Amino acid sequence: MCEAFLKDEESYRAVADKLVQISQYYGFDGWLVNIENALSEAAVKNTPLFLRYLTEQMHERVPSSLILWYDSVIEDGELAWQNELNQCNRVFFDACDGFFTNYNWTEENLEWMKDYSGVRGRQADVYIGVDVFARGKVVGGMLETNKALDIIRKHNFSVAIFAPGWVYEVHNKSEFRTNQDKFWALLSDYLYIHQLASRLPFISSFCQGFGKAVYWKGQHETKKSWFNLTAQEIQPLYYHMDLEDHGQVKSSGCPEDAWNGGCSLLLHGLIPATLNTPVCAKIFSLHVPLDSKIMVSVVYKASAGITISLQLKTTDSSHCSHTDVHEVTLTSMSPKILGNGPLLVSQISELCGNTNPQGWTVRCSQLELHGCVLREVCVLIHRDGGSQDTSFSCRLGEIMVLDVDTLQLPVDPVRGLCVDDVVWLCGVGTSPESTSPCLRLCATLRWDYPVESVRHFRVYWRRLRGPDPKIPPGKLELLARAYSNQFRVTELVVPEPPMELELVVEPVISNGFPVPESQWGRRRLSYAEGSEK
């Protein structure tokens, strides 16, 4: 295969063009090119040309993308892992964005590379490979992976952490979250925080894209385990912070209870009685421009003995070295405080009222910040007093930072809902839950709606009429959430024909205001023996 696509310019450009298209379509950050077989003289001669063309095309069409070369084939076509960047493989490094070394390096390899002319000015583009499984003669690995990172950072190279799935694959899977936190905590001092660049609204309910149930506003939407990484929201910082006198704060994802999605952020630990100042638990590291009145909304559950507030750290947009700290007092904000914008009082009351739905506390506040950039969001945990150390837990369900001037009720209706690729199944279905014979519908729904304003869509169905006209229409039943403008209905059990049912799509917009039912998408589907429409 390598000989075929590297035989000439036409062939390698065709392959590169297809890789670029795949990256564009699926949102890849780039490609790691790893050819672990020997190449002919003609093929290896074309390999740097292929890398250079692929890199140029990716940079042009997928901004900030990377093309990396793996330490395998050398310039004469032989398969010979070097465990370093040197004259034998430099030709590939020079043609792309970076070089990923094999895992069997020693510190002597890193010391040599530091002075190698081919690396000069590009040390950060050399990614030192670390196999977490620790296969072969390697530095660190497993729960000593931090030893490898310590040496790599000492010599100012980047690192490529390979196969961190070791944490899941070789340990008790019921302890995965604990082991996962333990593993990454070992590495946290060596890893940089990449600040999230975003514009308002800034919203996260900490969903990791899987869970034991799906929640909406603290209530179960569905009660079975699920996995859909498209549902993952902006992730917070997960860490373990030591305080004075044996105090500590830990943050972790927790699927046992959530406000929205499948997970909340759990802050827990011990605040010593000797600590008289609030504990600052950093939640996000950001770069979010602010130039308006903003509304901050927080949903949380806190244990007895502590009080929760927020701290926002900002810099002036023109003098980024200057830091202002804004402590946000969370209150039950009156809808009138937001002025006379295009809002309904009932919606603001629902969003920021003095409510404790399902045991959650919902609090809001308003700030006016002009010419600022939001850099950090912290939760301040205040100990209420007393002479004893305070064990605490605080579950964060959601944080929202909204631009007050742009808050408005949704005005866009769902348009063009259509039903395609319809398949009817009779008998027992393919899922383990399907045990009795019945009629099942499979179909693809597609619709138009501005997805940039949407968190997700809810897809429902209901029976309209038939076969007995005396039976009134059924209630809407939730099928699932959709995270794009299409959804595949799979083996939906439906009544026997003749029948008319309705498929419904509800947009759930980011700021939490409900979309009126008149703007939902609806499509009727009639079917009878041997026909449908």
| Three-state DSSP class for residue 85 | coil
Global pTM reads 0.81
Query: 254 forms bridges with which residues in the sheet?
Result: 264
Max mean pLDDT among 10-14, 135-139, 343-347 falls in 10-14
Q: Would you say 525 and 502 are in contact if contact means Cβ atoms under 8 Å apart?
A: yes
Pairing of strands 66-70, 98-100: parallel
Residue 403 has pLDDT above 90, yes or no: no
Query: What's the average model confidence in pLDDT over 278-305?
Result: 89
Q: Give me the chain's average pLDDT, please.
A: 88
Pairing of strands 214-216, 196-197: unpaired
| Three-state DSSP class for residue 383 | strand
Query: 393 forms bridges with which residues in the sheet?
Result: 268
Residue 346 has pLDDT above 80, yes or no: no
Helix (H) or strand (E) holding 219, with range, is strand 219-222
| Three-state DSSP class for residue 373 | strand
Rg (CA), the chain: 28
Query: What's the average model confidence in pLDDT over 27-41?
Result: 95
Q: What would the pLDDT profile of 113-167 be if each residue is shown by its tens digit? A: 989 999 989 999 999 999 999 999 999 999 999 999 999 999 999 999 999 999 9
Per-residue confidence band for 335, with pLDDT thresholds at 50, 70 and 90? very low
Beta-strand (E) ranges in 34-178? Answer: 66-70, 98-100, 126-131, 158-162
Max mean pLDDT among 295-304, 349-358, 368-377 falls in 295-304
Interior CA angle at 34 toward 140 and 106, to 5°? 25
Structure-model confidence comparison of residues 251 and 469, the more confident one = 251
Is the torsion defined by CA of 486, 491, 492, 495 positive or negative?
A: positive
Give the CA count within 13 Å in the CB-facing half-sphere of 229: 0
Structure-model confidence comparison of residues 323 and 369, the more confident one = 369
**Residues in CB range of 496: below 8 A, 6 or more apart:** 439, 467
Per-residue confidence band for 178, with pLDDT thresholds at 50, 70 and 90? confident
Task: Supply the pLDDT for residue 347.
Answer: 61
Residue 334 has pLDDT above 50, yes or no: no
Tokens describing residue 482: 């959709």
Residue 56 has pLDDT above 70, yes or no: yes
Q: How far apart are CA 490 and CA 476, in angstroms?
A: 17
